Structure 1
């Protein structure tokens, strides 16, 4: 999270925004992939409806995370609120592992708080150091894309028998590119989500053979 946060901070300042935008985005929004998108949306002055729709589609996966995230171990209402806010991909992966089955609510919240500090602190450091990095250095906005590409390849390798999911993702992206290239990401997310839901309900309706 630290090198990715630094890359985000540098990306913010190289996009023409003041350094403190990196601190505000990382501390208050705290949604890595959407934050990278939000920089472009902010500099392009897109309508708030587009920002809201993009945020919804990018972060809708957290609705499914909440089904198995161990929030019930957190006792206080304030702690539950922060646990919900701090539910990131990394926090979910760590707290739902086999080793985390015995973790207390306090340990879960501490983990989320440390991840939050790592992200916000490194983003701020990257923004402050952004002026020292020449504008000729390009590709920082691709850092998150590269990370998710590696994660996707690892996921495909771990589930070699499931080729339908990456195929559906590829078809969704290509269809979005052809239909609405200016809104590729939200359209691709919508098509992919609809495809997953259709596949889920189709599998449930299949008759089971004895």
Structure 2
């Protein structure tokens, strides 16, 4: 009996992780809604444009819903429309997808996936790691975000994209396919995200300077693989910068 009592006493002090409360979930959803609202204003018209492009290319309207739900890769989806219509070989589609989305390999180095709990949540968070989700969840203001808030942010961003594409596909007959300026909408959205990141890290001037230099070097040396080359040069520059800072810190500590 004494052994049983001791075991019960020990078990009573083992911390048990309580499930998230409903108010906590509602607070995370409300916060994610606020976080995603500004970017959603850009994703919805982009989704509209994709729905129009897909249906005007001859695809049925539900293909726009399928692409945005299962592929969910923004610029890649626009590129896939003519590839699907032309019935290009699967190997070409795979190579195109790799070259367009290889930047996500670099995103994974600093995306806060470790805060997301649960296999299903981690799997979805990995799938939905878009440029917009990465920019918002890796900002300095997002350092204390719990995993649920990050996942809800990603869910809402995809909902904006799917909703826009669905409406654009269903109303494609009412929307002209040659609207001027739609091709610049995604560039404008990425520019705004970059400006927000610069404003969030005002004291970190070397990073944007290094990014611009990496882009210029890649554009000059590898114009055919500009994006991939720019990411490689930028990552190498960050590693060198980290090593130099570490050596300098050790030198100051020894002194």
Report if aligned partners of 1:5, 1:120 keep a CA contact under 8 Å in 2: yes
Shift of 1:37: 5.4
Aligned to 1:65: 111
Rounded Cα–Cα distance in structure 1 between residues aligned with 2:145 and 2:161 = 22
Matched, 1:55 2:97: no
Shift of 1:199: 1.9
Q: Which has the higher contact order (CA 8 A, sep 6+)?
A: 1
Check 1:42–1:169 CA distance in 2 against 1; reply closer, same or farther (3 A cut).
Answer: farther
Aligned to 2:246: 204
Q: Which runs of 5+ in 1 are unaligned?
A: none
Shift of 1:91: 4.9
C-alpha distance after superposition, 1:47-85 (max 9, x if no partner) = 333431331224531342045x5213x4xx334322332
Report if aligned partners of 2:46, 2:182 keep a CA contact under 8 Å in 1: no
Report if aligned partners of 2:68, 2:162 keep a CA contact under 8 Å in 1: yes
Shift of 1:27: 0.7
Rounded Cα–Cα distance in structure 2 between residues aligned with 1:23 and 1:153 = 31
Report if aligned partners of 1:10, 1:140 keep a CA contact under 8 Å in 2: no
C-alpha distance after superposition, 1:126-183 (max 9, x if no partner) = 2333342224412212212101101212222332332222222222222222223232
C-alpha distance after superposition, 1:104-124 (max 9, x if no partner) = x5x765554343333212222
Matched, 1:8 2:50: yes
| Structure 1 residue runs of 4 or more that deviate by more than 6 Å after TM superposition | 40-44
How many matched pairs? 202
Rounded Cα–Cα distance in structure 2 between residues aligned with 1:17 and 1:178 = 38
Q: Report 1:18-33 matches (<5 A).
A: 18=59, 19-33=61-75
Q: CA RMSD in A?
A: 3.4
- Aligned counterpart for 2:200 among listed residues 158, 163, 174: 158
Larger radius of gyration: 2
Report if aligned partners of 2:64, 2:169 keep a CA contact under 8 Å in 1: yes
TM-score by structure 1 length? 0.74
Shift of 1:39: 5.1
TM-score by structure 2 length? 0.63
Q: Which runs of 5+ in 2 are unaligned?
A: 1-39
Q: Report 1:159-178 matches (<5 A).
A: 159-178=201-220
